[in-house]
């Protein structure tokens, strides 16, 4: 049976650094929170701040310190990012977690140690230490053998010693540091920052920093009242995952999206450096010279030692300058304390204020949230301007949605979040709302309206030519295509309604005869009044304009005729195109004559071949000389006709060439 000597008796206890409590918290939508701690430190006392290891990058980026007594902070220390094994590797000894004291002292062979017993104090150098076996049913004994100053060797029972102390202060300090490192590693996720000061008086110290926190969330209740304005009630949902209780802290939540990022400041950073030698430290390479060719030296291989190029300058780091937001003390903010309505039995005591592009809700009463708990805190309960509507888009199907038009008349920025709607003292549905600035307006939809049915029909007209222009032989037509979407709306209820139709904006299309009540980034909104138990039609007319281009030289006369007759063309353009049309018709007519003449030539040539074959056949037959002469006279006549046709074809081709030249000249002059 083993009996282990407690190691805590080996070193003297030291005073722990003081903790300073959290006084103020501001939670943001960017995944970070602002924390301010403040407290009193005794003379010579240090302050300690504990953080998760994953939070250290943000802490080192944002930590600010203040000594409200006018003193100066002389130093700031924090736990390194080394692992416990790395920290303990530099010590000249190892302490096993379940090892006996004798095992530890055995590593200290030669060190001077002082053991106190009830009757005496014995000092000497450690020779060895061991765990000696005892008789059955008795615990093992831990013993140490010391070399006394007298030169005697003495075996001592460690269990009988009341205290053990190393004579070497450095060794004693190393032992303290070793145990301190082990103690800090018990929480692998915790890291501490220590704030030192040389003031020998009591001090009031404050520290503020940013750390990652869960994003605070908003939820709303919208209560419709037939007799008065609607009421909007807002709640902030916060989560305490810091591992520390928030006791009576001044809490604020901020709406907006400030930029936040992680910069690796906690982990040690090393740069890879180049190995550079001087040129004279390198051996010279041999150079092989070529022979002389025609009096010129031909160096076939010349490879002197290439000098090392200078290391490129390091890239300049881009500094991202963060702005520290000053925080007013709890008493400095304008507080508003109201108990509004009887919607929820809560007291809303929140001071609201603009912070540039952000908006802050500051709770006037200190808040307590225990670690690993969450809380819902009311930050709004006010009347709000609202209007009940129906809203419809084609992707909704047959029925529109029950909706409300909210105008932010609260004087505060409303953070985005879910809205639960109550109407006629009953649950009506739910909606989502994006962040709403004061004075801005937003539509929300919360239920399907079964008392209204909507169908739509699409119709399109053909392309209409609106403009015709010609320049440098290119004819451009601007054409329009009209489309109509007709909505048929049936209100089966016995009460009037107001319907908002959302029609998408399409690139290249414009409205013809309707004016939307509102326009969003991607849709038109048309407001339609619906009578009780009535059917109504609403048409949205749009037009798309597009251009087509053609080479005038490639346009057929028939197509040119349509452009000449089009009402959209100017009179000047009509005259100029008519000239082009006339020339194209003449060219076409001449071309037809050429084809006809060529066809007649081909017919004559084929007939001549037939006649020649007949003459050849008759020459071999007696008594057919008269017929042969007849065919010969026919061939002569055809030859005269063929010559005449070929002359005519040649003349026609010259005419066509002249007409084409005139046409090209006219086309080049076109400009309207």
Beta bridge partners of 500: 391, 527
* pLDDT digits 0-9 by tens, 459-477: 877 677 777 888 878 888 8
The confidence score (pLDDT) of residue 462 equals 67
The confidence score (pLDDT) of residue 287 equals 64
Q: Which residue has the higher pLDDT, 352 or 364?
A: 364
Q: Are strands 18-19 and 47-52 parallel, antiparallel or unpaired?
A: parallel
The confidence score (pLDDT) of residue 7 equals 45
* pLDDT digits 0-9 by tens, 130-168: 888 766 667 778 888 988 988 889 888 888 888 888 888
Q: Where are the beta strands (DSSP E) in 16-140?
A: 18-19, 22-27, 32-41, 47-52, 64-67, 73-78, 112-116, 121-132
> Where are the domains positioned within the chain?
7-212, 217-260+340-450, 453-554, 557-669
- Kindly tell me if the per-residue pLDDT of 2 is higher than 70: no
Which segments of 130-252 does DSSP mark as H helices, in order?
169-184
Percent of the chain at pLDDT above 70?
81
Residue 217 binned pLDDT confidence (cut-offs 50, 70, 90): very high
The confidence score (pLDDT) of residue 600 equals 86
C-alpha to C-alpha distance for 42 and 629, rounded to whole angstroms: 147
The confidence score (pLDDT) of residue 607 equals 84
C-alpha to C-alpha distance for 356 and 296, rounded to whole angstroms: 78
Q: Which of 4-18, 92-106, 490-504, 580-594 bottoms out in mean pLDDT, i.e. has the lowest? A: 4-18
Contact (CB, 8 A) for 536 and 530: yes
The confidence score (pLDDT) of residue 33 equals 92
Among positive and negative, which fits the CA dihedral 563, 567, 568, 572?
positive
For residue 343, give the nearest of 439, 251, 228 by alpha carbon. Answer: 228
Among positive and negative, which fits the CA dihedral 135, 138, 142, 143?
negative
C-alpha to C-alpha distance for 93 and 654, rounded to whole angstroms: 114
State the pTM of this model: 0.61
The confidence score (pLDDT) of residue 315 equals 39
Percent of the chain at pLDDT above 90?
25
Contact (CB, 8 A) for 95 and 214: no
CA distances for 583 relative to 123, 650, 666, angstroms: 130, 20, 9
Residue 309 binned pLDDT confidence (cut-offs 50, 70, 90): very low
The tokens of 568 are what?
A: 């959209």
For residue 212, give the nearest of 192, 241, 248 by alpha carbon. Answer: 241
- Kindly tell me if the per-residue pLDDT of 12 is higher than 70: no
Phi, psi of 590 (to 5 degrees): -60, -40
CA distances for 185 relative to 104, 211, 510, 666, angstroms: 20, 21, 69, 94
Q: What is the mean pLDDT of the chain?
A: 80
Taking residue 117's Cβ as centre, other Cβ atoms within 10 Å add up to 13
The confidence score (pLDDT) of residue 644 equals 86
Contact (CB, 8 A) for 416 and 440: no
* pLDDT digits 0-9 by tens, 46-55: 888 888 888 8
Residue 624 binned pLDDT confidence (cut-offs 50, 70, 90): confident
For residue 38, give the nearest of 76, 66, 5 by alpha carbon. Answer: 66
Among positive and negative, which fits the CA dihedral 523, 526, 531, 535?
negative
Residue 427 binned pLDDT confidence (cut-offs 50, 70, 90): very high
C-alpha to C-alpha distance for 271 and 288, rounded to whole angstroms: 41
- Kindly tell me if the per-residue pLDDT of 304 is higher than 60: no
Which residues, at least 6 apart from 294, have a Cβ–Cβ distance to it below 8 Å? Answer: none
C-alpha to C-alpha distance for 146 and 126, rounded to whole angstroms: 5
Among positive and negative, which fits the CA dihedral 41, 47, 52, 58?
positive
Burial status of residue 43 (CB atoms within 10 A of its CB: 0-12, 13-18, 19 or more):
exposed
Which residues, at least 6 apart from 228, have a Cβ–Cβ distance to it below 8 Å? Answer: 383
Beta bridge partners of 230: 384
The confidence score (pLDDT) of residue 555 equals 83
Q: Which of 45-59, 321-335, 354-368, 498-512 bottoms out in mean pLDDT, i.e. has the lowest? A: 321-335
Contact (CB, 8 A) for 532 and 496: yes
Q: Are strands 350-355 and 358-363 parallel, antiparallel or unpaired?
A: antiparallel
Q: What is the DSSP string of 476-513?
A: EEEEEEEEEEEEEEEE-SSS-EEEEEEEE--TTEEESS
Return the H-helix or E-strand segment holding 579.
helix 571-618
The confidence score (pLDDT) of residue 335 equals 33
For residue 363, give the nearest of 501, 198, 246 by alpha carbon. Answer: 246
The confidence score (pLDDT) of residue 281 equals 66
Per-residue HEC secondary structure of 238-296 comes to EECCCCCCEEEEEEEEEECCCCCCCCCCCCCCCCCCCCCCCHHHCCCCCCECCCEECCE
* pLDDT digits 0-9 by tens, 572-602: 888 888 888 888 888 888 889 889 988 888 8
- Kindly tell me if the per-residue pLDDT of 661 is higher than 80: yes
Q: Which residue has the higher pLDDT, 498 or 100?
A: 498
Interval 520-543 mean pLDDT: 92
**Residues written for the chain:** 672
Contact (CB, 8 A) for 242 and 213: yes
The confidence score (pLDDT) of residue 580 equals 84
The confidence score (pLDDT) of residue 219 equals 94
For residue 502, give the nearest of 337, 595, 390, 617 by alpha carbon. Answer: 390
The confidence score (pLDDT) of residue 355 equals 66
What's the start-to-end Cα distance of the chain, in Å? 114
């Amino acid at each position: 049976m083993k009996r282990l000597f407690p190691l805590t008796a080996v070193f003297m206890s030291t005073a722990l650094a003081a903790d300073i409590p959290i006084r103020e918290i501001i939670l943001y939508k960017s995944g970070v929170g602002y924390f301010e701690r403040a407290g009193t430190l005794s003379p010579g006392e240090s302050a300690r701040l504990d953080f998760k290891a994953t939070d250290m990058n943000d802490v080192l980026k944002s930590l600010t310190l203040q000594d409200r007594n006018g003193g100066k902070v002389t130093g700031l220390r924090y736990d390194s990012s080394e692992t416990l094994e790395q920290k303990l590797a530099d010590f000249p000894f190892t302490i096993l977690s379940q090892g006996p004291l004798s095992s530890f002292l055995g590593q200290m062979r030669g060190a001077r140690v002082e053991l106190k017993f009830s009757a005496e104090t014995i000092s000497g150098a450690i020779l060895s230490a061991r765990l000696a076996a005892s008789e059955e049913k008795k615990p093992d004994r831990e013993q140490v053998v010391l070399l006394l100053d007298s030169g005697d060797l003495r075996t001592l029972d460690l269990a009988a010693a009341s205290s053990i102390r190393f004579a070497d202060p450095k060794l004693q300090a190393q032992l303290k540091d070793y145990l301190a490192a082990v103690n800090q590693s018990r929480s692998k996720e915790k890291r501490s920052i220590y704030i030192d000061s040389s003031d020998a008086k009591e001090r009031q110290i404050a520290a503020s920093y940013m750390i990652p926190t869960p994003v605070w969330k908003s939820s709303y209740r919208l209560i419709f009242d037939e007799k008065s304005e609607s009421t909007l009630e807002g709640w902030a949902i916060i989560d305490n995952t810091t591992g520390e209780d928030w006791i009576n802290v001044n809490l604020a939540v901020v709406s907006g999206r400030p930029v936040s990022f992680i910069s690796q400041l906690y982990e040690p950073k090393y740069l890879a450096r180049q190995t550079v030698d001087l040129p004279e430290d390198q051996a010279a390479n041999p150079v092989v010279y070529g022979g002389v060719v025609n009096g010129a030296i031909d160096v076939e291989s010349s490879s002197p030692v290439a000098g090392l190029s200078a290391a490129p300058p390091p890239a300049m780091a881009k500094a991202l300058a963060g702005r520290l937001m000053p925080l007013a003390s709890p008493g400095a903010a304008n507080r508003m304390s109201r108990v509004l309505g009887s919607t929820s039995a809560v007291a809303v005591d929140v001071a609201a204020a603009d912070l540039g592009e952000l908006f802050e809700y500051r709770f006037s009463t200190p808040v307590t949230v225990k670690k690993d708990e969450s809380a819902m805190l009311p930050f709004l309960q006010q009347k709000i301007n609202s209007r009940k509507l129906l809203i419809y888009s084609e992707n909704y199907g047959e029925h529109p949605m029950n909706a409300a038009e909210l105008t932010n008349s609260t004087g505060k920025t409303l953070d985005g979040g879910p809205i639960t709607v109550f109407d006629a003292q009953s649950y009506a549905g739910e909606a989502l709302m994006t962040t709403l600035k004061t004075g801005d307006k937003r539509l929300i939809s919360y239920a399907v309206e079964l008392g209204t049915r909507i169908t739509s029909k699409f119709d399109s007209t053909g392309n209409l030519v609106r403009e015709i222009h010609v320049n440098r032989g290119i004819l451009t037509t601007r054409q329009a295509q009209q489309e109509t979407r007709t909505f048929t709306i049936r209100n089966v209820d016995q009460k009037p309604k107001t319907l908002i139709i959302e029609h998408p904006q399409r690139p290249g299309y414009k409205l013809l005869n309707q004016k939307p009540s509102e326009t969003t980034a991607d849709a038109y909104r048309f407001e339609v009044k619906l009578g009780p138990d009535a059917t109504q039609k609403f048409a949205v007319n749009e037009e798309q304009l597009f251009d087509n281009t053609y080479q005038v030289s490639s346009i057929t006369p028939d197509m040119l005729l349509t452009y000449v007759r089009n009402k959209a063309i100017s009179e000047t353009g009509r005259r100029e195109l008519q000239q082009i049309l006339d020339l194209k018709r003449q060219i076409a007519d001449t071309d037809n004559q050429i084809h006809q003449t060529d066809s007649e030539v081909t017919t004559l040539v084929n007939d001549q071949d037939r006649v020649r074959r007949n003459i050849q056949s008759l020459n071999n037959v007696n008594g057919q000389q008269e017929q042969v002469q007849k065919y010969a006279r026919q061939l002569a006549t055809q030859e005269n006709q063929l010559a005449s046709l070929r002359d005519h074809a040649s003349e026609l081709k010259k005419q066509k060439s002249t007409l084409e030249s005139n046409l090209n000249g006219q086309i080049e002059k076109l400009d309207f």
